[in-house]
């Protein structure tokens, strides 16, 4: 967890506001298993009544402005992100669920927000959309071979996100 990254700091503040137990992961202590580095996740989260989360926070603007217009529901991740979460699940066991938490920084308050529960942090608005990493991986398509990134089509992504009990 890197507190200087506003998306991660906002998610930590949100967890604190919910009263959920959590542990931030120290990014400076990279783990090595069997001679291979595993990409770290950001938080160990203990949502009440659910499996604990190995949460990897991905910050995105909502909407994201491009030369071609506005893009909504940006949800790309690297293959390394998915592989790391899968490896951590093997290490921690089935009591822990790898989750990708998309932290959307809401750029325009008049736009349709991705969730109804908006969190204010440092005078900015955020929405948090968790998706199980296994579900994400099952629907991921290559976005950029050069950057080794994948994405899930918007309609499918919104369906996956709606299956997770809301964060509250």
Residue 69's pLDDT is 82
Dist. CA 162–CA 157, nearest whole Å? 9
Model confidence, pTM = 0.90
User: What's residue 1's pLDDT?
Assistant: 47
Confidence (pLDDT) at 6: 96
Domain 6-162 grouped into CATH 3.40.1350.10: yes
How many other C-beta atoms lie within 10 A of the C-beta of residue 144?
Answer: 11
Number of CB atoms found within 10 A of residue 64's CB: 15
Per-residue pLDDT tens over the stretch 137-154: 999 999 999 999 999 999
Which residues of the chain register pLDDT less than 50?
A: 1
Q: What string of DSSP letters covers 69-96?
A: EEE-----EEHHHHHHHHHHHHHH-TTE
Residue ranges of the domains in the chain? 6-162
């Amino acid at each position: 967890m890197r507190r200087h990254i506003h998306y991660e700091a906002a998610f930590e503040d949100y967890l604190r506001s919910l009263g959920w137990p959590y542990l931030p992961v120290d990014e400076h202590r990279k783990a090595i298993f069997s001679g291979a580095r595993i990409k770290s996740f950001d938080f160990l989260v203990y949502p009440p009544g659910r499996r604990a989360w190995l949460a990897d926070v991905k910050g995105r603007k909502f909407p994201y402005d491009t030369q071609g217009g506005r893009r909504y529901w940006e949800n790309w991740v690297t293959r390394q992100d998915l592989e790391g979460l899968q490896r951590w699940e093997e290490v921690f066991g089935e009591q822990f669920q790898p989750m990708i938490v998309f932290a959307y920084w809401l750029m325009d308050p008049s736009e349709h927000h991705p969730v109804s529960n908006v969190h204010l942090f440092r005078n900015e608005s955020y929405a948090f959309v968790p998706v199980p990493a296994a579900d994400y991986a099952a629907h991921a398509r290559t976005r950029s071979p050069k950057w080794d990134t994948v994405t899930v089509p918007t309609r499918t992504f919104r369906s996956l996100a709606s299956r997770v009990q809301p964060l509250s």
